[in-house]
Structures are given as C-alpha cells and as structure tokens.
Structure 1
Amino acid sequence: MNSDLLVELAQLGLDGDKNKLINYLKNLAARSADERKLTLYKKISELLEDYESSSKVQWQVSGLPTGQVIPIRGEDKLWFPKRLEDRIGLVSRLLADQTLPEDIKVKFNRILLHGVPGTGKTTIGLYLAKKMGYPIKYVKVSDVISYKFGETLKNISEVFNDGGSSIIFIDEFDAFAKSRFDSNDVGELKRIVNSLIQTLDMLPSNKIVIVATNLVETIDPAIARRFPIKVHVGKLNKSERMDFINFLVKQSYIPIKLSKKDLELFDAILRESDLKTVDAIKGVIDSSIVSAHVEKAESIYMQNIAISMLNNRLIDSDTLKRLGSEKPDLYAKLIKLFSIQYTKTDVAEILGMHRNSLLNYGKEI
C-alpha cells in the first residue's frame, strides 16, 4: 500500500465519516480486482463482508409504496430565488403536461441539478418530484455502489427497472457517472457509465430521472448530453440573500428585529465569511433561534446573531484578521457587537488566537 493511499485512509478514519470510508474501500476493492491485486481485493472484500454482516447493512433504495408521494415538510414555506422559481415552474409545468406527444416527453424526462454544496439541489429535486405526484425513489451512492463484481450494475438496473410511473432522484450522481476518460478510473466504473448511457437512452416517458451533483465537470460528457434540462443552483447574490433573510425573519417563531442597517451589516458579514448558500444562511438563523430559545430571549437582535456566529465558529480568526487589515469599518462593527457580551480574552479563546491580534477591542479585562 503506497503512502498516499495510507494517508487518505487515515484521513477518512480521523474525519469519522463511515459512509465515505466504506465507499472508498469499495472502490479500492474494485480497483484492486481490475489491477489483479487479488490478495488485497480478497482482504478488503472479507473486511467489508464481515462489517456488513455484523451491522446488518443491506442495499436499499429509499422509496415509498406505489401511489404515495414523499412528504416535504412545510412545502408552503419553501423559498427559491426568483431566477430559479421561474425555471422550476417552467420545468414542473413541462413535466406535468399530459398533452405532449410521447416522442417529445421522452426528450424532457431527465433533469440535472448542479452547483456547490448547500445550494438546495436536493430540496428542488424533491419539490419537482412532489409536484408530479408520482411515487419517488430517492437513491444515494451508498445505496447502490458495491465492492462485489457486477453488483453495482445490478443495483442500478433494479433502480430503473420497476414497473409503472415513477420519479427516480439520484443524489451525488457524479460518484458513478464519472468520465470514462478519467485516468484514475477503473474498469468497473467504465462499465457502469456505459450501462447508464444505455439505460437513459431507453428510458420510457412515464419515468422521470432527476439527478444532483456538486461536480458536474467530472460527469462523463455522453451522460451529461442525455440530460436536456440542466439547472445550475448557485450561491445567492446580494438581492437574493436579502430576500432570503427577510423570508427567514418572517418565518421565525421568535421575533427577529433587524433594522435596514442591521440587514446590510448581516449581509456584509455573510459575504465576507463566504456564507452565501441557502443552507449556510439558514444555519446562521437557526443557530441564533436555538440560542435565543435556550436563553429564553423574547427577541433576536443583530448582536445575538453575531455572537451565535462567533460561538459556532462561522466567523473564524482568518476572516477577522483579514477584515482588520482590509475592511476596518466592518471589523470595527463586528468587534463592537462581540464586546456587548464578551471580553477580548473570551473572543481570543473562542477563535484560538492571541488576544493581542484583536486590534481596537473595546472591552478590556
């Protein structure tokens, strides 16, 4: 085993991400078999087999009985940026149009959602599926990929081959739709890609496939071409962030009281901390609400949000140092908010930095 591989395995173990480690070992087993490293293949296979037997892990597609649809909590409270709302509406109307001829329907029953993590691709995919009213299969990579020869191909075939109308939603699609020209790829994955191409070509009009990926550039070009509807789900721009913040403020069961200046300050903090996805912004608001609930606060103000971001390390030492040198006005406003509750030493300890690095701190011990 080479040193790079050993380090990669060690990193996965230290990160504590069991699913990633299992998927990595499955791919390593497949690669070992392709490279005729049969001893390593056998040892990894036995290790995974023992683990799966002891933990009773079985391959399963997360689905619902025929005639039922997946519930989306608070569907009436979903928010999409205007540019996506229009596109999503158009796609959902197209999919629901029963007057379209069959030869046209089969050209538009494959949708690819792509963008960085946290932008809401899964939510959009499930929302589109819900609007159709079809039974839904939600498929994750860990449900499908197997270290055994031919098992992954069999699993993919089972996903697509059930009878009747259905929507298949595949998350992390890039994991088994990688380019066949990837020099690091192995024979098994190439066979999977070829099988996917054939399956998509033969897809009947009563089946709709929605896939989501963070790494659209790694998907095999031939597979990408088979998705006529591609929707980029990106980070929010300033007006979208402001709109989303206002939406979350209205939804909060604890009143969030932000002035226009507070909103501008909040957006500036989000921008400089690169928290510009729906998941990131919602996470900030949610953590502020939880803190307010624990402290039995009747309202949430800008200082509460800033303190919550600090406590959750959503504002880190590197960001604060950069703001101190590049954007002193914003830095001063942040420091003022922190000093309402914390001393200079408190903030330094939270961020793991020397207290003297915090310039112009207003509250000394």
Structure 2
Amino acid sequence: MGCFMAMGASDVIELVEAALAADYTRVRRLAGKIATALSEGEDKDAAKKLRSLIRRSGVPLQASGFVESLPVDSKSRMPLVEEQPWPTSPLFLDENTISVFHCFIEDAKNVDILVENGLSTRLSMLLSGAPGTGKSLLAGHIAKQLGKPLYVVRLDSVISSLLGDTAKNVRRVFEFVPSREAVLFLDEMDAVAKLRDDSQELGELKRVVNTVIQGLDSLDDHAIVIGATNHSQLLDPAIWRRFPYKVEMNVPNAQMRADMWCHFLFKDEDEAKASDVLAAVSKGLTGADIEAIAGAARRRSVLAQRELDVGGIAWAALHSSEGRPQLPPVETLTSGQKIELARRLCGSLALSQADAARVIGVTRQAVRKYLMEGGDGD
C-alpha cells in the first residue's frame, strides 16, 4: 500500500489509462516506477518479480493483438531500435562527469524555460571511453532520471549488407525519434559516423555519415540523444559538433573503485574495511572488471558456504588487466601465491604488514615469513 501512496493517485490513473490503451511504453515506464518504489520500501522480492515481468517484452499486450510500432529494416524486418529497461545498478562517476550529468538533466527538465528565454541547446551528449567504463549505464540513468523510455539503436540491424540500405535505416531511426518522448541511445557511433576522409571507406559509407548529421540536425529542442563510442579518434569532427555535452569515461579513480568494491562485494562495514586495499590492487581496471571479479567471488562464497576469500579476490585483481578480468581461484591460495601476494602488497603497493595480513587472511608473523621466504632477488 505504501508503494502506491508513494506513486500518487495520478500515477495509478496514468497506469490504468496506459493499460487500457495498450500503450506498451507507458506501461513499462510506470511499472518500472512501481518496482523502484517497492525496492525502496524494502519489498525486494516483489520489485524483482515486477522487473522480471517488464523484461518479458510485453508478451501479454502482444497476445491481445498489440505490437509496438518500431522502425524496421525493409529487407530483414528486424527492428532498428529496441526499448531497454532502466538500470538497477548505481552510477559511480568522477566529479567532472557528475557535474556534466546533473547539468544535462537540469537542462532537459527545464527545456521549455530555456526555449522561452532563447537559451535552448541540443539535448545531445557524447560519451567516449573504453568498454566497461559505464557508457551504457550512464545513458540508462539519464532516461531513468527523466522518467523516459530508453530506446537503443541496434547496429546489427541498421548496418545492412546492401549498399544504400544503411543510410535508409539511419533515416528511419531519426524519423522515429520525434514520435516518442524517449531517450535515444546510439552506441558504437564510430560504426556509422567515421571520418569522411578515411581513404579505406567506400563512398556509400561516407554518405551514411551525412545521413547521421542530417538526422541529428532534424531533431527539435526536446529530442534527447546519447551517443557513445569506444574509438573517439574515428569520429568525424562534424559529429562532435552536434553534441554540446561531452563526457570522457575513464577507468575509475581510487575512491570510485573503493565504492564499487563496497557495493558489489561487501555487506557490512567490517568487511568493507578491505575495500581501500582492493581499490589499490585494482588500479587500471574498469567498473565492469570489478563487478565481474566481485560477482564471481560472491558466487563461490555462497556455493561453497564459506566466507569471502579477500586474498583470492586481491590475487585476481592484481592479475587482471583492463577488459580482461581474472576470476578468483576456486580453492584457497597456495603458499607460493600467498608469498607473491604479500610481496606485491608490501612492495609496490606499500601496504603495512598488518594490512597485508588482513587481506591474505593470515597473521602478521606469517606475512613477515612470506617476505623472508620470497627473498630480494626474484
């Protein structure tokens, strides 16, 4: 009952109207709002079940004869965009990205005021950075903050094997945007917006870039477009100019990494004390890497019915590289692994023997012994 009171009568009325009108997009958006309210009200199971229903792509509505009108490729009939649910994972951002994010949200919420005062700008944000740095997650949170559906362009459908059809598909996507109060997410933009002076590209593919530019120019002040690329150096300069808001998504800093370990791995404050150490050993890893290592460690802990092996997690993080996370060992660390870990923690990372002992799960005397056994030359 508290959940529906938190929603408000207008939300309940809108949900009923949307259901009776078979408005799939509004039903999903409002159901997502209910799920969030349930989660905040500590009814996690109900929230999980409701989100599971939302992800079933509207089977009940389709069974009653409703199919959402999405642009499709004329040959394969595959949809060019798909609606995705709002993310449930939190955002971990540095100060600069937080500032741009809040500025964008504020401008989007007050676009009518800005237009009235001649201060409107394109509501377009370009995200650049390596895979796993949170570009898709940030786009999802923008949609969530604005209470709008999130439509993601499917490049596998847009990029046609038939020359000429790719530009047509791009045009269909941008013709679709004004008909929806939604956020459009263009991932891997370098696939359709490369430098037009690239001598390796065919003339037809260069014309696709012009189509993208024309599509962005055709949108009004209320259209919200988020672009993302893993290879910013490949984008045509004219594309950059169409995105007033720009964010470079880097690997997380030390504080962000500590916060990620706390969220993805630990449940209480005593365990979370190791998060600073894990932040140190995971320098250079992406948020996706940290989430993968933490998730694997928690699964092993649950299935083996044992405490989290922080030493094994630190070992995995130290042997991981950006985009290539190593999973923690299934068994406890061997003596040789403990010796190597102790040397890394107390050597290049300059941890005290006491902190290293806490991470490895042994006594300080054991760490001292490991360091002596490790020697100085190796």
Which of the numbers 186, 208, 215 marks the counterpart of 1:170?
A: 186
Which of the numbers 78, 81, 87 marks the counterpart of 1:59?
A: 78
Whole-angstrom CA distance in 2 between matches of 1:336 and 1:247: 20
Question: Aligned AA for 1:243?
Answer: D
In structure 2, the partner of 1:5 is none
User: How do 1:127-142 residues align onto structure 2 when only pairs under 5 Å count?
Assistant: 127-142=141-156
In structure 2, the partner of 1:306 is 314
1:104: how far off?
5.4
* TM-score, normalisation: structure 2: 0.61
- Aligned partners of 1:248 and 1:282 also within 8 Å: yes
- Aligned partners of 2:87 and 2:137 also within 8 Å: no
In structure 1, the partner of 2:126 is 112
1:327: how far off?
3.2
1:117: how far off?
1.2
Question: Aligned AA for 1:294?
Answer: L
SS of aligned partner of 2:282? helix
1:80: how far off?
3.4
1:140: how far off?
2.9
1:134: how far off?
3.1
In structure 2, the partner of 1:327 is 348
Question: Aligned AA for 1:124?
Answer: L
- Aligned partners of 2:190 and 2:232 also within 8 Å: yes
Whole-angstrom CA distance in 1 between matches of 2:115 and 2:328: 53
Whole-angstrom CA distance in 1 between matches of 2:76 and 2:296: 33
Whole-angstrom CA distance in 2 between matches of 1:167 and 1:78: 18
Whole-angstrom CA distance in 1 between matches of 2:295 and 2:289: 10
Whole-angstrom CA distance in 1 between matches of 2:247 and 2:221: 20
Whole-angstrom CA distance in 1 between matches of 2:314 and 2:227: 36
Cα distance 1:123–1:172, how it changes in 2: closer, same or farther (>3 A)?
same
In structure 2, the partner of 1:295 is 304
SS of aligned partner of 2:171? helix
* TM-score, normalisation: structure 1: 0.63
Whole-angstrom CA distance in 2 between matches of 1:90 and 1:228: 12
User: How do 1:178-217 residues align onto structure 2 when only pairs under 5 Å count?
Assistant: 178-217=194-233
1:291: how far off?
0.9
1:168: how far off?
1.4
Q: Which runs of 5+ in 2 are unaligned?
A: 1-74, 330-336, 363-371
User: How do 1:124-163 residues align onto structure 2 when only pairs under 5 Å count?
Assistant: 124-162=138-176, 163=178
In structure 2, the partner of 1:89 is 102
User: How do 1:199-238 residues align onto structure 2 when only pairs under 5 Å count?
Assistant: 199-238=215-254
Q: Would you say how many aligned residue pairs link Structure 1 and Structure 2?
A: 274
SS of aligned partner of 1:265? helix
1:329: how far off?
6.4
1:93: how far off?
1.1
Whole-angstrom CA distance in 2 between matches of 1:195 and 1:328: 51
Question: Aligned AA for 2:132?
Answer: G
CA RMSD in angstroms comes to 3.8
CA shift digits 1:314-350 (9 cap, x unpaired): 5899xx79959x83967x998997798xxxxxxxxxx
Whole-angstrom CA distance in 2 between matches of 1:234 and 1:292: 31
Question: Aligned AA for 1:231?
Answer: V
- Aligned partners of 1:307 and 1:337 also within 8 Å: no
